[in-house]
Amino acid sequence: MIAAGEPAPDFTLRDQDGEKVSLADFRGRKLLLVFYPGDFSPVCGDQFSIYQEVKPEIAAKGVELVGISVDSFFSHQAFREKLGIDTTLLSDFEPKGEVARAYGSYVEEMGFANRTLVLVDEDGIVAWTYESPNPGEFPGANVIFDALG
């Protein structure tokens, strides 16, 4: 798991609309990266539904929330539509899990990212991280708000 104080590894991934999104696009803003195993699992749906509910409070603290999984951007688009969420979802599809690996979130034997939160500050430095004990447990909104103060 990447540690606080380290530079956040740069990336360019496609979002749910197939558009390229890079870490550099968020320079000057705080960014909360939410690594998760995959779209359409019951746990992932619950996680993003709860995050959607508190997203205005997260934004009020000056933080943008972005999800990342190994699913294709087509899957992300359908997942967002099914849940009725507007969170940007990025596809770490090919090479599979490259960004999750760079952040220390990838679980090799499972083939996907663990549920990991990484707060990147305005200068692109990792400010805080959280890793779930296992992919079946997602960090609740309270974990995010504790980190944001």
Q: Which tens digit of pLDDT belongs to each residue from 1-35? A: 999 999 999 999 999 999 999 999 999 999 999 99
What is the torsional sign of CA 24, 25, 29, 35? negative
**pLDDT score at 41:** 86
Domain edges within the chain: 12-148
Active site residues: 44
Q: Half-sphere exposure of residue 75, counting CA atoms within 13 Å on the CB side?
A: 17
Radius of gyration of the chain, Cα coordinates, nearest whole angstrom = 14
**Would you say 68 and 99 are in contact if contact means Cβ atoms under 8 Å apart?**
yes
CATH 3.30.429.10 fits 12-148, yes or no: no
pTM here is 0.97
80 phi/psi in degrees, rounded to 5: -60, -45
Q: Which tens digit of pLDDT belongs to each residue from 91-126? A: 999 999 999 999 999 999 999 999 999 999 999 999
Beta strands 116-120 and 20-22 are: unpaired
